[in-house]
Homo-oligomer: A and B are copies of this chain.
């Protein structure tokens, strides 16, 4: 079973994954952690990163070692490996496949690389981001964060802001939420950085309500979730058209957000969320990152457990 895109998950599979993530999170006493470290002893994960992504790599590797797996790792395969000598990704994967790992986590700079790798691999491949393509575990941890907070992935109003045209995470999450009933999405961005027509088509096809605006405060008033990302001013044709709030989340703008709502961000954040926001109880972005650990543990556990059976 390869994990290439979040769209391959059914709703019931997502439920199972999140339930397992919740279970694994509860192995917290020293005794339970020793038990966990016995669970997949004798299994190995290979981290094959063609471009560095320290956060993603460390969380996959932490997930693996917590489950008792052995880990071997390269964080710069593009420069350091046979790839530099002209080897194709397919050949590299064929060799690693012959090393009999239980899971290969692949990060690649080319869109579609994960699918090409999966085609030649008997070892399960997890796509940890391939160019402008997919990064399914990011979408899974976003969905898991919403699931943990609200106990559901439907009947939600989500406000997505920042660079929606280029942001992989907002595109994936919008798509995923569109598969659940009665969600509503408000896209907050400058006209030239609005969400792509392809995503709008998906929303229309699924009858998911959405609107586009540059007015943060009115969008926030009925929001359950604010999903914020960085808007890079240098991408704007005329930066002077930016509203005075500059799409920055700070205590003032957040007075418009209901108490039950949560604030998410894929991180790293630069200045689009004021540090003053960090102490707001609705700010969940660091917790969200931490959820990545448990989702990845659940994912590795499911892949290996299926192999055992």
Which B residues lie within 8 Å of A65 (CB)?
A: 44, 70-72
- A291–chain B nearest beta-carbon distance, Å: 8
**Which of chain B's residues have a CB closer than 8 A to the CB of A36?**
42
Q: Are B37 and A42 in contact (CB under 8 A)?
A: yes
A58 touches B98 (CB 8 A): no
Beta-carbon contacts of A21-47 to B below 8 Å, as 1s and 0s? 000000000101111110001111010
Q: Would you call A82 an interface residue if the criterion is a C-beta within 8 Å of the partner chain's C-beta atoms?
A: yes
B contact residues around A94 at 8 Å (CB):
286, 289
Knowing that A94-B289, A98-B290 touch, tell me 4 more A-B residue pairs with CB under 8 angstroms.
Answer: A42-B66, A44-B62, A46-B62, A85-B268
A33 to B66, CA, bound (A): 18
B37 and A33 within 8 A (CB): no
A96 touches B46 (CB 8 A): no
- Cβ–Cβ contact A96 & B268, under 8 A: no
Measured CB to CB, the closest approach of chain B to A64, in angstroms, equals 8
- Interface residues of A: mostly helix, strand, loop or mixed? helix
Contacts of A54 in B (CB 8 A): 74, 77, 80-82
CA distance A72 to B75 in the complex (A): 12
Is A132 engaged at the interface, CB distance under 8 Å to the other chain? Answer: no
A64 to B156, CA, bound (A): 45
Binding site for B on A (CB under 8 A): 30, 32-37, 41-44, 46, 52, 54-55, 57-59, 61-62, 65-66, 70-77, 79-82, 85-87, 91-92, 94-101, 267-270, 286-287, 289-290, 293, 308
Residues of B near A35 (CB, < 8 A) are: 42
Closest 4 CB pairs of A and B: A98-B290, A65-B70, A33-B42, A52-B80
User: Smallest CB-CB separation from A34: which chain B residue?
Assistant: B42
Expressed in whole angstroms, the Cα–Cα distance for A37 and B46 within the complex equals: 16
Please measure, in the bound complex, the distance between the C-alpha atom of A97 and the C-alpha atom of B52, giving whole angstroms.
Answer: 20
Contact A95 B62 (CB under 8 A): no
Contacts of A85 in B (CB 8 A): 268, 270
- Cβ contact of A87, chosen from B44, B92, B101, B270, cutoff 8 A: B270
